[in-house]
């Protein structure tokens, strides 16, 4: 049995500062800016840009101890994660765990988009941090 990923919801890109990144993705590539959200408890400022049906999330730290700071220190700017939509996040997490996939979050939390999300460990996903998002439940 599989987790039944339906489509790519977004790509998360870690950046040191939002404005220079927006100058490229919005101004040079022409991706329309949907919104910018500050997530104080996670220390993140997130810009959402539309690329067709897929969002590009630019993730910038609001402070030195933000969720993205360690990634930027060790890896620098670049793709942080890929997010797939699933129809039932709890079922998907259970199935993946039963199949031996290393799950970071056994219980979903609310993501930047306002929907339940959970992450899978890169060691189980060919070196890529994978996020699951369930747009059907809130």
Residues of the chain where predicted confidence (pLDDT) is lower than 50: none
Assigned domain for 81 exists: yes
For the chain, helix (H) and strand (E) counts, in that order, are: 3, 8
Closest by CA position to 120, among listed 134, 97, 103:
103
pLDDT for the residue 101: 96
Helix (H) or strand (E) holding 12: strand 7-14
pLDDT for the residue 136: 86
Assigned domain for 1 exists: no
pTM (whole model) above 0.85: yes
CA distance 74 to 69: 9
pLDDT for the residue 138: 54
Domain count, the chain: 1
Assigned domain for 2 exists: no
DSSP 103: B
């Amino acid at each position: 049995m599989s987790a039944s990923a339906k489509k790519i919801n977004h790509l998360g890109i870690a950046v040191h500062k939002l404005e220079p990144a927006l100058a490229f993705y919005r101004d040079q590539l022409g991706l329309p800016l949907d919104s910018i959200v500050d997530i104080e408890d996670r220390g993140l400022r997130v810009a959402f840009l539309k690329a067709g049906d897929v969002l590009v999330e630019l993730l910038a730290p609001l402070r030195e101890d933000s969720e993205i700071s360690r990634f930027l220190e060790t890896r620098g700017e670049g793709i942080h994660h890929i997010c797939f939509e699933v129809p039932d996040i709890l079922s998907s997490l259970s199935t993946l765990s039963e199949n031996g996939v290393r799950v970071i979050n056994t219980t979903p939390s609310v993501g930047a988009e306002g929907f339940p999300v959970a992450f899978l460990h890169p060691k189980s996903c060919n070196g890529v941090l994978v996020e699951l998002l369930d747009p059907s439940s809130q």
